Amino acid sequence: MKMTRAKRSKIIYNIVTFALVIGAFFILQSMIDAKTISRSLKGQLVPICCWIVMAVSLNLVIGISGELSLGHAGFMSVGAYTGAVISGVLVNLYGVQDTTLRLVIAIAAGGVMAGIVGALIGIPVLRLRGDYLAIVTLAFGEIIRNLVNVLYIGTGDGRVYSSILNKKLPEGVTMLVDGAKGAVKIKPISTFMAGFILILITLVVVLNLVNSRAGRAIKATRDNRIAAESMGVNVTKYKMMAFVTAAVLAGMAGALYGLNSSTVVPTQFTFNQSINVLVFVVLGGLGNILGSVISATALTVLPEVLRAFADYRMLVYAVVLILVMIFTNNPTIRAITSRLFAPLKSFFRRAAKYAPAVGGAVKELGGEEEGEEQKHE
């Protein structure tokens, strides 16, 4: 198949994204093996993986499908609780000791559960036009937080007990979810490897989805709903597809996150946390997956590094957000930056031209151009 320019730049973008993630993983893994990694960074590794998945999945909703979702932490919460309960049940009732198996099942369950919840929200809301999704997801985040606050789940006598609002569990039950105390006595089983694999899965799903028939339909819906409908695109279906996929991924990230510590409390997944993820997405660039990965990593690591200034974090966020918006939307500043980067771009273009690996594809663009280039030099 003939490779077009757009297709090639897409492939390069994907390769860079994957190379960056895989490269970072191997560097960090070798640092862990050599024990040269700092304790605080090591503790941050799994959360970073979770937040990357959160940011990328939210970008699918906001950047690609153009809907505003303000309750992404709610899906993470659903995933975290589901994962913790499933893992606890597997140990207590079925005696599954293999941590990898337990982790895989817990993550899958977290994803499925969050996906179901996402579908329940999406079915009524995504039929509407306008910003209803933002309002409903905002409410959803709060509802979930309050719901798990009064949720009691425990195991004993070979079965699962659960109650809501009041703790009505028999004596001697091993508590898994204990109301406001959250999910308790979790045996941390998350590994950096699992987080890495989850990121890869997320990237494959999101990038492949975006560059496919369904992804184009999602983007078309974002760009112009009426035109997309007139072309026979079932708008609600594709909005649902993006939203539910994002919810599933967030649920999986939540399960991984929950199983990384010994407790999960409802206050971990507040509106602030949803906004945090939104900040990752906006900073990384709407629709820019690689940007989300980078900004999620940077903004998770930075507060730890700058622990002394942690109090000013929200203040800095606000300022940075405003600056980013100015820089990306002001035509004058954009013109200046593009001029600054122009030499760099042409360098890369030339490098690509003479690099043998991509040379074959470039030749198709026409030999004339190349001949002229050589004359100039």
Partner 1 sequence: MSNQSKHRSNTKMVPVPSGSIVPERDFNEIPVLETRHLGIEFGGLKAVDDFNLTIGKTEIAGLIGPNGAGKTTVFNLITKVYEPTSGAALINGRDLHGLNIVQASKLGLARTFQNIRLFGNMTVEENVRIGLHNQIKYDMFSGILRLPRYWIQENKQHEKTLELLHIFDMEKLADERAGSLPYGVQRRLEIVRALATNPKLLLLDEPAAGMNPRETEELMENIAKIRDQFQIAILLIEHDMNLVMGVCEGICVLNFGRVIAKGTADEIQRNPVVIEAYLGKKKEAQA
In the complex, the residues that contact partner 1 under the rule CB under 8 A are: 1, 4-6, 204-205, 208-209, 212-217, 219-220, 222-224, 226-235, 241
To the nearest whole angstrom, how small is the minimum distance from the Cβ of residue 225 to partner 1?
9
The arrangement of strands across the sheet holding 174-178 comes to 159-164, 151-156, 174-178
Give CA–CA dist 174/186, Å, rounded: 12
Give CA–CA dist 39/44, Å, rounded: 9
Residues in the chain: 377
To the nearest whole angstrom, how small is the minimum distance from the Cβ of residue 281 to partner 1?
17
Give CA–CA dist 43/25, Å, rounded: 15
Q: Closer to partner 1 at the Cβ: 12 or 165? A: 12
Give CA–CA dist 50/58, Å, rounded: 12
Q: Which amino acid is at 132?
A: Y
For residue 152, the surrounding DSSP H or E stretch is: strand 151-156
Q: Closer to partner 1 at the Cβ: 139 or 201? A: 201
To the nearest whole angstrom, how small is the minimum distance from the Cβ of residue 6 to partner 1?
4
To the nearest whole angstrom, how small is the minimum distance from the Cβ of residue 218 to partner 1?
10
Give CA–CA dist 348/350, Å, rounded: 5
CA distances from 291 to 16, 83, 180 (A): 11, 28, 36
Question: How is residue 45 written in tokens?
Answer: 């590794």
To the nearest whole angstrom, how small is the minimum distance from the Cβ of residue 241 to partner 1?
6
Q: Closer to partner 1 at the Cβ: 232 or 356? A: 232
b/e code 232-266 from CB counts within 10 Å (16+ = b): ebebbebbbbbbbbbbbbbbbbbbbbbbbbeebeb
Q: Closer to partner 1 at the Cβ: 6 or 308? A: 6
Q: Closer to partner 1 at the Cβ: 74 or 215? A: 215
Phi, psi for 9 (deg, rounded to 5): -65, -30
To the nearest whole angstrom, how small is the minimum distance from the Cβ of residue 59 to partner 1?
15
Q: Closer to partner 1 at the Cβ: 227 or 336? A: 227
To the nearest whole angstrom, how small is the minimum distance from the Cβ of residue 171 to partner 1?
48
Q: Closer to partner 1 at the Cβ: 130 or 366? A: 366
Q: Decide: 192 and 46 in contact? Cβ < 8 Å.
A: yes
Closest CA to 153 of 86, 218, 79, 203: 86
